Structures are given as structure tokens and as C-alpha cells.
Structure 1
Amino acid sequence: MQIIAIANQKGGVGKTTTSHAMCAGLAQKGFKVLGIDMDPQGNFSAACGAENLDVSTIYELMRGDSDITDTIQSLKSGFDIIPSNIMLAGAEQELSQTGKEYRLKESIESVKKKYDFIIIDTPPSLGILTVNAFTAATDIIIPTTAGIFATTGINQLNITVKSVQKYCNAALKITGILFTRFNPRANISKQIKELTEQLSKYISAPIYKTYIRTAVAIEEAQANKMDIFNYAHKSTVSEDYKDFIDEFLKGCK
């Protein structure tokens, strides 16, 4: 099984959208999938239609206040999720004990064999929540837009990855970089893609051949608490994510 952290410290690059699409798309292919919302904003939970108020969430799980079976919710899209809410923001201060980097890894140990894939949506930062995700993960996928600040953040993320590899998770690897909200006809997109290709060689991570085009259907699907495949299965972005998941699965063989 694989545990995949979707990460980029830059916000607005499609982490949550990619997490949701991967969970739903893999579930449609018959895989058993668990999504974990590690962002205090709880956007992944909201987009999936998960309950995240007055229920046990990833916050209670990492504090040791709830058993993992009490935090997992099964969704209509065919996958399970551990939701998040704003209470998770306090974890940065509360998780101060020795071994705090291993809280998530230890929390999911008892259920991970039930799933083929666990997808972790990380916050737009490189704090203890993201470090927990990297410590638990086998792989990292980096979504990025064709913007200079988004691609610059990849190098900073790589520094954190190397630190986690050294101290917490030697087997962790960056599986690939995924372009989202991409306009192949824009000159700036072409320039940034060239820059990122150079960066991918530096951090030894390939760029996925599939790129995700810009589409309003994403925001509409999230507003309706549906995955993109069920909301707009004929849209360009739905086709793009299907192609990406196929490319991702080929890399798993």
C-alpha cells in the first residue's frame, strides 16, 4: 500500500483538489482509499461533504483523545476520510512532546492495511502537521501552478523532505510534480514549466506528463460537495485527472 502526501507550502496550487480527485478516482477504479485532511482550514473535508463539527477529527486522533475507528467516515464517492477543522491549528503548540513527528504515523498504523492508498492533504506550510504527514508517507506528490512563487516553494519543500528523510523517514520519496491550473498556450506557463523542469532535475523528481487545465467546474463541484468525476465527468479537468491517475498508477507498477 502507498501513503501519499499532497504537498506544497504555497497555497492555491490545487492540493485539496488533487487530494479529492485522487481519492475519488482511485475509488472508482476499485481501490480502497482513505483520505486524511491535515489542513486546519478543513477544505478537503468540506469539499467531500464530510462532517467536521461535533465529531471526532484528526485533531482528537493525534491528541490521543479518540480511537481511529471513531474518526473515519465513509463517503458517497466510495472512499473514507478522516476530517479536520480549525481546532487542528492548535496542534502546532500542543504537540510538544518527544516523538511529536510520529503522531500521525502511529495513529493510522492499526488501519493502514485495510487500504490500498492513503491520501493526505497537507496545509500550506512546513510546520509540524506537514512533517507528520511526511513521516507517515511513502510518497509525496507536489502540485504546482505555473507561477514563479509556487515553483520557488518546491525547493524550500525539498529541504524539509531531506530533513524528514534524515531523521524520521528514510524511505520517503518525491514521486512527481503535477502542474495544475495550467494554460499550455500562455507564454508564462511555458517559461515556468522550463524552470520547473530544471528544478525537478535538481531535486530528482520527475514532472508528470499530464497537466491539469483550468476549469470553473472544480469550484462548482466543491460548492456542491461532489467530486469532479460525478459532478462533471465530461469536463476537461475531469479528463485531465483521469489521465493523471492512470499515469500515477503506471508509476506504481
Structure 2
Amino acid sequence: MAKVICFANQKGGVGKTTSTNALAMGLKHKGYRVLCIDFDPQGNLSFSMNADTEPPTIYDVVKRKVKCRFAIRHTDLIDIIPSNLLLSSVEVEFTGNGREFLLKDCIKQVSPMYDYILIDSPPELGVLTVNAFTAANVVLVPVLTDVYSLQGITRLYDTLEHIKRTLNPDLKFGGMLLVRYNAREELSRTVLATAEMVSKSLNIPLLRTHIRSSVMIAKAQAMQKDMIQLAPGNHAVMDYMQLTNELLKGVL
């Protein structure tokens, strides 16, 4: 059965999609069978993986219009179940009991086919993110090195703990991941020190690997290319490869 990893942060633009893409590439290059699920209505992960976002998508899967395996796109980069804006209607379409398990029930169908399933979640703590947490084994939280990025971590942590108590006792907080980190900048060092304090106070891990900033990462996604093949010597790409190794040794 696949291990399910979810990238989450209630703040947008912090690197969830980029980190999902990068970890998927890192795991694929190590020979693992990887499925990505784009669970964000914006569909950015689907675009970066060159996946067709016409139906069937993950929306059709959770609506029970199609079985999970028939929504998988086998792109040149990865296997992915894409998303589009229709997914945003799940918030109002599903209001009854058990709506937190929509994604988990779908994943069960394809879990034996993969080693890892990676979920890119939306930037708010609504029913979509709750579904992602309920389906996941591990949650990873990307954090930008700016003054706003650590805001809301306590609320996110409280949500995770609530999901763990009530819906998913096997859920694990895999750690915070600093992205666009520059050790020469005072702000980055300040955010790192604050993240270390948050890590200690909440008793949650802060991953040792920090991801440096690079335009090559954005370029690879815009070109719908494998960043490891496109620029294996790029420092941010190497950081993500190191992150893959760190996670495999201790979290995954």
C-alpha cells in the first residue's frame, strides 16, 4: 500500500505545488512508483506535470462519476490525477456525514499500484484540506522565509491534531520545510530562528534541508519539464534531492 504525503499551508504562494512536484521527481528518479493528486482547484500542479485537465479529474472521482484509476493521466513526467476549478464546488456540494473521507475512499482503489501518493492541497483549511489530511499518512508544511509565513502554523497544527484525534489516528506531522532560504540574508536567518522556536514549542519537526531560491525551479514548471533532468546541478534542485534523501531516511 502506498504511503500518502500531503503538502499543506493555509497561506498561498509558499511553495506547496513546487515542493510536491520536486519530491515527486526525486522519488521517481530513485525508482519509486509515484502518483500525484492535484487537490487544489487552481490546478497548478496539473499544469506543471503537463496533465490534461478536462474530465475526468479528481472532482469526477470524489463525485463518484468515475473510478479513481480511470482519472489517472500517465504523462511523460509522472502519473497524476488532475484538478480544475470545478473542484471548488465540493465545499458546497458535500455537506453530509462522511464528507471528510471522500478522498481517502478514492485513494484506496489505487494505493496498491504505487509506493507513494503525493497530494497538493489548497491554501485554506476547508473541506478539501480536511479530506487531504484524512487521507494522508504524513503532512509536510512549506514555509517561506518572510515575516508572514509562520503565521497560522499554530492553527494548522491544531487542525492536524483534531484530525488525528477524530478522523485519522495515523496522521503524522512530517515537518516544516523552509523554502527560498538565503543564509546570507538576515531575514532568512530570523525566520529560521523563529521556526526553530515554533518547532520546540509545538514539538513538531523542522526539516534540516532548506531550499534555496532559484528561477530554474519556476522555469522547469513553466516548461513542464523534469527539474532534475533539466538542471541537475542547480543548487535548489540539489536541495530538493537532498530533501528527498532526508525524508526517506526519517519521515517516509
TM-score (norm 1): 0.96
Letter in 1 for 2:7: I
**Any idea what SS the aligned residue of 1:151 has?**
coil
CA shift at 1:24, angstroms? Answer: 1.2
Q: Which amino acid aligns with 1:18?
A: S
1:113: Cα distance to partner? Answer: 1.6
The corresponding residue for 1:214 is 213
How many residues are paired up? 251
Q: Percent identity?
A: 39
Q: Distance in 2 between matches of 1:252 and 1:187?
A: 29
In 1, the alpha carbon distance for the partners of 2:138 and 2:12 equals 20
Deviating above 4 A after TM superposition, structure 1's stretches of 4 or more consecutive aligned residues are: none
Report the Cα offset of residue 252 of structure 1. 4.2
Q: Does 1:34 align with 2:35?
A: yes
For 2:165 and 2:186, locate their aligned partners in 1 and report how far apart those are by CA, in whole Å: 39
- What do residues 110-161 of structure 1 show as CA deviations (whole Å, max 9, x unaligned)? 2102111110000011000000000000000111011232111211111111
Find the aligned partners of 1:125 and 1:230 in 2 and give their Cα distance: 32
Displacement after TM superposition at 1:162 (Å): 1.3
- Partner-residue secondary structure (3-state), 1:142: strand
In 1, Cα distance between the equivalents of 2:203 and 2:138?
Answer: 13
Q: Which residue type is aligned with residue 210 of structure 2?
A: Y
Q: Distance in 2 between matches of 1:158 and 1:227?
A: 32
Q: Secondary structure at the match of 1:120?
A: strand
Match of 2:185 in 1: 186
Q: CA separation in 2, counterparts of 1:118 and 1:252? A: 14
Counterpart CA distance in 2 for 1:143 and 1:73 is 26
- What's the counterpart of residue 21 of structure 1? 22
Q: Residue 82 of structure 1 aligns with which residue? A: 81
Paired residue secondary structure (1:177): strand
Partner of 2:204 in structure 1?
205
What is residue 6 of structure 1 aligned with on the other side? 7
Higher mean displacement: 153-162 or 12-21: 153-162
Query: Could you tell me which amino acid in structure 2 is paired with residue 226 of structure 1?
Result: K
Distance 2:110 2:197 in 1: 39
Specify the alignment match of 1:138 in structure 2: 137
Distance 2:183 2:20 in 1: 23
Instruction: Quote how far apart the aligned CAs of 1:231 are.
Output: 2.0
Alignment match, 1:171: 170
Cα shift readout 1:59-88 (whole Å, capped 9, x = no counterpart): 0101111111210111212x3111000110
RMSD of aligned C-alpha atoms? 1.1
Deviation at 1:94, TM superposition (A): 0.6
Q: Distance in 2 between matches of 1:204 and 1:72?
A: 37
Matched, 1:47 2:34: no
1:166-221 CA-to-partner distances (Å, cap 9, x unmatched) read 21101111011111111111111111111111111222221111111000011111
